[in-house]
Chain A
Amino acid sequence: QKEVEQNSGPLSVPEGAIASLNCTYSDRVSQSFFWYRQYSGKSPELIMSIYSNGDKEDGRFTAQLNKASQYVSLLIRDSQPSDSATYLCAVNSGGGADGLTFGKGTHLIIQP
C-alpha cells in the first residue's frame, strides 16, 4: 500500500525565517511529486511540482527531491503570516492511473 508520511505539526516559525517541511513516501516507482497548500475551510492549491532529483525554485518556494532516500521537502523563504496553512505532500506513480496519494499534511504557523 502506498504511503506518504508527514509530520502533522504544528510547525511554528518566526516571520521572515525559513520554514522547512518534509515528506517521505513508500512507493519506489513514484515519479511525480507535488506540494499543495490548504487554508482552513478551503480546497488544496497547487504550489510546487517536482519530477527529477535536485532542487526546483519558484519565488520564495524551493522543492527538493531525493528519490534514493524517497524524500521530498519544501522550503519557504522569508516566511509571511499568510503562509500559515496546512501543506500537503502528494505523489503519484505516473502512467495512466495517476491519482495522487496524499500525506496528512503539516500545519504551519508563521508567528508575526
Chain B
Amino acid sequence: EAGVAQSPRYKIIEKRQSVAFWCNPISGHATLYWYQQILGQGPKLLIQFQNNGVVDDSQLPKDRFSAERLKGVDSTLKIQPAKLEDSAVYLCASSSSTGAHEQYFGPGTRLTVT
C-alpha cells in the first residue's frame, strides 16, 4: 500500500512570494490533515478535511493560508504572501474514517522563506 505522497520536498522562496504544496493521501483515506512543524517543535494542526469538507480550520492563519480538497482525494495548501516565520516543514497526514483513526504522515515539504 502506497503511503502519503507530498510534493515538492523542498522549496525556497523570498518573503511576500506565494507557494503551494500538494498532498495525495493513502488510497481510501477519507480524512486529510495539514500540519506545520517548526524546528524544535511538535507538529501543529492547520486544517482537517473529511472528504472534500473542512472539519477544523481553527488554527489556520486565514489571512495568508488557504487549502482545498476539491474532489475529496488530493489537497493543496497555499501560502500567499509568505513571511519569514512560515519557514517550517509542512506535513500532510491521512486517516481512515473507520477503525482506529490512526494518522499516517507523508515525507513533508521543507519550506525556507528568505
Report which A residues bind B (CB closer than 8 A). 4, 32, 34, 36, 42-46, 49, 51, 88, 90, 96-105
Contact B104 A46 (CB under 8 A): yes
Given A32-B101, A44-B91, A97-B55, A104 and B48 touching (CB < 8 A)?
no
Given A49-B100, A96-B50, A97-B48, A43 and B42 touching (CB < 8 A)?
no
How many interface contacts (CB-CB < 8 Å) are there between A and B? 54
User: In the assembled complex, which residues on chain B have CB atoms less than 8 Å from the CB atom of A98?
Assistant: 31, 48, 95, 101
A103 to B: closest C-beta gap in Å: 5
- Cα separation A86 to B44 with both chains bound (whole Å): 16
Contact B105 A45 (CB under 8 A): yes
- Contact flags (1/0) for B88-114 with A, using CB distance below 8 Å? 010100010000111111111000000
Contact A99 B42 (CB under 8 A): no
Partner of A104, one of B41, B56, B101, B107: B41
User: Which residue, of B44, B50, B103, has the highest number of chain A Cβ atoms within 10 A?
Assistant: B103
Chain B residues 21 to 71 lying within 8 A of chain A, measured CB to CB, are 31, 33, 35, 40-45, 48, 50, 55-56
Contact B102 A97 (CB under 8 A): no
Main secondary structure of the interface of B (DSSP, over half): strand
Contact A99 B33 (CB under 8 A): yes
Given A99-B48, A100-B43, A104-B42, A34 and B108 touching (CB < 8 A)?
no
Contact A43 B106 (CB under 8 A): yes
- Cα separation A102 to B101 with both chains bound (whole Å): 16
- Cα separation A41 to B43 with both chains bound (whole Å): 13
- Cα separation A46 to B42 with both chains bound (whole Å): 14
Given A43-B107, A96-B55, A88 and B102 touching (CB < 8 A)?
no
Contact A99 B105 (CB under 8 A): no
